[in-house]
Structure 1
């Protein structure tokens, strides 16, 4: 399936008789002002999506900081966003799609196939000199899409531990968090024993677009993807890991998400933590 849409392709789609739903997932760790950023300037027609309340359920030690929402809640949100059956969806943020990928993954997990990320995110739209609109978001006509969970693979903590031994488990966090040098938000520092470091930021070129497929494939093969029967990904709370899954798909690999990620793993005192640069 196609993972990305270019700015040029999006312009054509928006001018067509069947324009896509355009979702703006403005979110970053430590920045709770996504709605205000959207109001300051967004791609015309884009609907604001709140990651904390619409793309996740309430945090818990067992589920982590961003548990997956119930499929009924996600469908209700998709109706608010105006998604209709068989309508394409294009998603972006202002951080290289590291947050937008959460919405991309969830909608794909819920059975939608015509869902893509705007390659280069909002930065690419700005770089093309295209207009933004400002003001508070307005609600589109309600959608009618029907969602069903399970179209993409997931693993729980036991499954992630098993993958770290018998498959390939990638840690999508920054290297210093993987090594346990810093831990700004979760209960303990370190990584799941056996997991391989593969920071999400390394999926992107300097302009915020995904690296070419052959470069991504080489990157993941160097971390063992070519020889692995099964691949899993985790991050801090299951958000940027979705970006890693998108990059893996561009490279030709399928991977399962560990939704609770390190936030759930590290909250369980019975789970071991490794530190340093080696799995």
Structure 2
């Protein structure tokens, strides 16, 4: 990573850089956001071994409100509840935060996005997550961590969001990226949500293609090339959705790392597909 690439270093931190920061005494709040669709053992994984001092963050209960058909599987949490959770994690006003997971940032990006959305500027993702920390010689500790309470005050709206109507409009008049796997975009499979397919006009841009074979974010030029092929950046605004607003946050982070701002559609496909009045398109073409 080029130290001159300020957009990237504002979003990502490498394991060796994080270890050096910690060794210097500048210890960020470390958030362990281990979660994956269909799994419920994130906390058990955390207890068995996590970065020293890291606090476990429950994506289902702390980074989302309860699921409803009207709002989707992972609605944005109430800001007061998110603030209380962030203070429990030890997040303070003006402090730095690093979020990580064991799936290449796919779940940790939800914490990154929510805190950025709520006005916390000093939040980064550990590039490569737990695997890179271990590869760099980092140690783990076991058991629960209860940090001193933080005093952060959250104010939502620092990052842009879309509702369903705005997402539809962006698909027609801007660039709307569908961050789900290609087979879900095409409507060949739908393992979770009510209907298969995509929003008409949305462009397939799987989140998995933001990463290399080791689960790290692609280099800055590779990301620029990837998104340029999808029409980003360009004169039109950019939005991203996925199944429920989780992995789309990873795509927003990837775009932010090359200096491109993108709005997130939190309800995503889980909300859209549950509304019978919303049209569904299948196949490889946007429309």
Instruction: State the TM-score bracket (shorter-chain normalisation).
Output: over 0.9
Deviations 1:132-186 (A, max 9, x none): 1112x12111110111000000010000000000000000000000000000000
- 2:124 aligns with 116
Aligned to 2:268: 261
Q: Secondary structure at the match of 2:30?
A: strand
2:4 maps to which residue?
A: none
Paired position in structure 1 for 2:13: 5
Structure 2 stretches of 5 or more lacking a match?
Answer: 1-6
Kindly indicate whether residue 27 of structure 2 is the aligned counterpart of residue 27 of structure 1.
no
1:126 paired residue among 116, 134, 146: 134
2-structure distance, mates of 1:226, 1:145 = 33
Which aligned pairs between 1:1-279 and structure 2 lie closer than 5 A?
1=7, 2-135=10-143, 137-279=144-286
The answer as to whether partners of 1:217 and 1:252 remain within 8 angstroms in 2 is: no
2:179 touches 2:205 (CA, 8 Å); kept in 1? Answer: yes
After TM superposition, the score normalised by the length of structure 1 is 0.98
Q: Secondary structure at the match of 1:211?
A: coil
Report the CA distance between 1:228 and its aligned residue.
4.0
Quote the Cα distance in structure 2 between the aligned partners of 1:174 and 1:260: 17
Alpha-carbon RMSD across the aligned residues, in angstroms, is: 0.9
Number of equivalent positions: 278
Please list every run of 5 or more consecutive structure 1 residues that lacks an aligned counterpart in the other structure.
none
> What CA distance in whole angstroms lies between the structure 2 residues aligned with 1:62 and 1:254?
27
Measured after TM superposition, the shift of residue 206 of structure 1 is: 1.2
State the distance in 2 between where 1:19 and 1:131 align: 15
Contact between 1:168 and 1:228, CA under 8 Å: does it hold in 2? no
Give the whole-Å Cα distance in 2 for the aligned partners of 1:82 and 1:223: 39
Counterpart secondary structure, 2:233: helix
The Cα offsets for residues 242-277 of structure 1, whole Å up to 9 and x where unpaired, read as 000000111221100000000000000000000011
Query: Could you state the TM-score of these two structures normalised by the residue count of structure 2?
Result: 0.95
8 A contact 1:237–1:261 mirrored in 2: yes
